[in-house]
Amino acid sequence: MTQRQFLETANARLEYQFVQSEASTGPTLVLLHEGLGSLELWKDFPVQLAEVCNAPVLIYSRQGYGRSSPVPLPRSLDYLGMDGPDELARVLDGLGLEQVVLVGHSDGASIALAYAARQDPRVRGVVVLAPHVDVEPASVEGVRRTVRAYTRGDLRERLHAYHGDNLDGAFRGWSETWLNPAFAAWSLYRELPCIQVPLLAIQGYEDEFATPAQLETIARNVAGPCRTVMLEHCRHFPQNQARPRVLALIAEFLATLPG
């Protein structure tokens, strides 16, 4: 594992880190974190992913998260479809990555799907964990519960260790966007038919932020090969709550990608 480094882009200074095993080959797996995530909040998942898949892994904190630059508020209501993918393009360019597989969780999964729709030839495939392609009542209620935990419980203290001075901006940028009534119209319906690369979509049956309709919509609308997997006894964090199965599924998926 390399030490944490910083990439200077036209818009922000982003923290990033590469993880790889001695046998790492093939495309780089680019991890895109969730709406309250960061480089550090992936914890030991990137190390295990690199070992199981024998692939290099890139993790980075998007602007406004972790130790990356702050983000101006309010966020754009299309930050998942435009801002996040635009930033990802700057990361791929800045680090000179030539072949990648995007692995996104929750908000990061939405960004991965939106970026795949741009048909960048560097993207060989996409893995999405608990993705959002539209705004469901379950999503809004899940955000409301999280806001209550942040204001009344210990969630703020726990997240501060990962975001530092970015914490309130990260939390407000996420929660205020999802709870904005105008955000209810957001979706990736136009982007999904443009996704031609192989796709693996994973979700827990007990996901407290979404229903299985998310995976059904993806499978019905993407143009490329798509495998969807619903996991028993799993909520919104498959990479933590069903890690052995998720690692195996991703390794199987990578083995199927065209050479």
pLDDT in tens, 131-190: 999 999 999 999 999 999 999 989 999 999 999 999 999 999 999 999 999 999 999 999
pTM: 0.97
Q: Region 229-233: what's the mean pLDDT? A: 97
pLDDT, residue 23, reads 79
pLDDT, mean over the chain: 96
pLDDT, residue 22, reads 78
pLDDT, residue 1, reads 67
pLDDT in tens, 1-35: 678 999 999 999 999 999 987 778 889 999 999 99
Q: Region 36-40: what's the mean pLDDT? A: 98
Domain topology for 5-256: Rossmann fold (3.40.50)
Percent of the chain with pLDDT over 70: 100
Question: Structural domain boundaries of the chain?
Answer: 5-256
Whether the per-residue pLDDT at 259 is higher than 80: the answer is: no
pLDDT in tens, 39-50: 999 999 999 999
Q: What is the 3-state secondary structure (H, E, C) of the chain?
A: CCCCEEEECCCCEEEEEEECCCCCCCCEEEEECCCCCCCHHHCCHHHHHHHHHCCCEEEECCCCCCCCCCCCCCCCCCHHHHHHHHHHHHHHHHHCCCCEEEEEECHHHHHHHHHHCCCCCCEEEEEEECCCCECCHHHHHHHHHHHHHHHHCCHHHHHHHHHHHHHHHHHHHHHHHHCCHHHHHCECCCCHHHCCCCEEEEEECCCCCCCCHHHHHHHHHCCCCEEEEEECCCCCCHHHHCHHHHHHHHHHHHHHCCC
Whether the Cβ atoms of residue 74 and residue 176 lie closer than 8 Å to each other: yes
pLDDT, residue 2, reads 76
Q: Facing residues of 126 across strands?
A: 102, 199
pLDDT in tens, 92-147: 999 999 999 999 999 999 999 999 999 999 999 999 999 999 999 999 999 999 99
